């Protein structure tokens, strides 16, 4: 952890340099045919929606850029290749920043604890161990992140979040969409990551969150075990980012309580849509709607 943080002006300069670099990285990824899988998946997902229910344009554009960057910026050897390939087209300061990423790759981080440090720098606590390629001499348990948007969100309060971060040599920055959740905690995101990983290992379709699984209060997912504590959440998100980016639809879902305490959410075993739920009229952002839904399926259990 740095003893002193950079000024807000220095942080903004690093962010501006990254914006200058991103088009070159996307072009590199396309030239190396690293986008043949991820972007068609995004188009196929969009095709499942119709009319007014189509995915928001801003989300699609943001997701497309993030999906294009991930195959390069999260793998140090590919960043090294991008440095060699784009060296003649970027300024020295931009190349110096890319060389920092060659040592410290970008990371898609699920996190739970947020603490404000100073001038739009917040401290986040990642869920799970560091991703593959993370330097052994760089801290991980608490990451200082410069992000005016995340700092604003922290002041309003949320339980957990997802961000793509990069290191500029002194502090981390966010890039792309920031997802924060009022109804999910760290164990929920951990459980969802485990579900995505299990589905991939079994050769099944990667699950999207489509409903709720009642858990029955504290320890709903059996509590954090040695295995779940070491679940490589960041690597799972990097390998299968789309299900996690899709969680933007669930950011404002409130915490739901039943007779056994707080209920948790995960990959769905009960499927519903707002227009065809077990209770008829249903508003996913409305606390009483969730509580009525929970009461209606109190006897449902999960092995």
Contact 297/278 with Cβ under 8 angstroms? yes
Longest dimension (CA), the chain: 64
Rounded mean pLDDT of 74-79?
A: 94
pLDDT tens-place string over residues 186-223: 888 888 888 888 877 766 665 555 444 333 333 334 44
Better-predicted residue by pLDDT, 280 or 89 = 89
Alpha carbons 194 and 106: distance in angstroms, whole number: 21
- What pLDDT does residue 218 have? 37
User: Could you give the count of Cα atoms lying within 13 Å of 244 in the half-sphere of its Cβ?
Assistant: 34
Q: What percent of the chain has pLDDT over 90?
A: 39
Instruction: Give 207's contacts (C-beta < 8 A, 6+ positions apart).
Output: 195, 196, 199, 243, 267, 268
- What pLDDT does residue 53 have? 59
Better-predicted residue by pLDDT, 38 or 172 = 172
- pTM of this structure: 0.77
pLDDT tens-place string over residues 230-261: 789 999 999 988 888 888 887 877 766 556 66
pLDDT tens-place string over residues 23-49: 999 999 999 998 887 777 777 776 666
Q: What percent of the chain has pLDDT over 70?
A: 70
DSSP states along 227-251:
HHHT--HHHHHHHSHHHHHGGGGGT
pLDDT band at 71, cuts 50/70/90? very high
- What pLDDT does residue 191 have? 86
Would the CA dihedral through 56, 60, 63, 65 be positive or negative?
Answer: negative
Contact 38/70 with Cβ under 8 angstroms? yes
Better-predicted residue by pLDDT, 143 or 2 = 143
- What pLDDT does residue 226 have? 44
Query: What are the CA-CA distances from residue 102 to residues 6, 15, 74, 235 (Å)?
Result: 21, 17, 9, 17
Instruction: Give 82's contacts (C-beta < 8 A, 6+ positions apart).
Output: 24, 25, 28, 72, 98
Contact 262/221 with Cβ under 8 angstroms? no
- What pLDDT does residue 20 have? 94
Contact 29/21 with Cβ under 8 angstroms? no
Q: Residue 65 gets which letter from DSSP? A: H
- What pLDDT does residue 230 have? 77
Alpha carbons 124 and 110: distance in angstroms, whole number: 9
Instruction: Give 143's contacts (C-beta < 8 A, 6+ positions apart).
Output: 109, 111, 123, 124, 125, 126, 165, 172
- What pLDDT does residue 198 have? 82
Residue with tokens 């404000």: 116
Tokens of residue 31, six digits: 């030239």
- What pLDDT does residue 205 have? 60
pLDDT tens-place string over residues 1-18: 677 888 889 999 999 999
Q: Which residues pair with 207 in a beta bridge?
A: none
Burial of 283 from C-beta contacts in 10 A (0-12 / 13-18 / 19+): exposed
Alpha carbons 232 and 242: distance in angstroms, whole number: 17
């Amino acid at each position: 952890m740095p003893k002193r943080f950079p000024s807000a002006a220095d942080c903004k300069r690093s962010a501006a340099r990254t914006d200058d670099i991103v088009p070159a990285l996307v072009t590199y990824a396309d030239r190396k045919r690293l986008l043949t899988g991820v972007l068609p998946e995004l188009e196929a997902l969009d095709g499942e929606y119709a009319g007014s229910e189509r995915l928001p344009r801003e989300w699609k554009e943001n997701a497309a850029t993030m999906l294009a960057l991930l195959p390069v910026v999260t793998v140090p050897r590919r960043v090294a290749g991008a440095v060699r390939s784009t060296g003649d087209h970027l300024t020295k300061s931009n190349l110096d920043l890319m060389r920092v990423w060659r040592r410290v790759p970008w990371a898609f981080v699920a996190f739970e604890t947020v603490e404000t440090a100073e001038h739009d720098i917040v401290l986040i606590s990642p869920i799970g161990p560091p991703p593959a390629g993370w330097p052994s001499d760089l801290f991980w348990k608490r990451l200082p992140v410069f992000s005016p948007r995340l700092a604003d969100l922290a002041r309003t309060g949320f339980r957990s979040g997802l961000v793509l971060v990069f290191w500029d040599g002194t502090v981390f920055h966010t890039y792309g969409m920031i997802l924060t959740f009022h109804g999910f905690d760290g164990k929920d995101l951990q459980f969802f990551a485990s579900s995505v990983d299990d589905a991939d290992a079994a050769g099944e379709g990667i699950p999207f969150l489509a409903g709720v699984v009642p858990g029955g209060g504290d320890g709903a997912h059996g509590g954090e075990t040695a295995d779940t504590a070491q679940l490589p959440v960041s690597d799972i998100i990097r390998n299968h980012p789309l299900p996690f980016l899709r969680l933007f639809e669930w950011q404002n879902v409130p915490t739901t309580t039943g007779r056994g305490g707080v209920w948790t959410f995960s990959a769905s075993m009960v499927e519903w849509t707002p227009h065809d739920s077990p209770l008829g009229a249903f508003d996913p952002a409305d606390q009483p709607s969730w509580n009525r839904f929970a009461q209606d399926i109190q006897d449902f259990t999960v092995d």
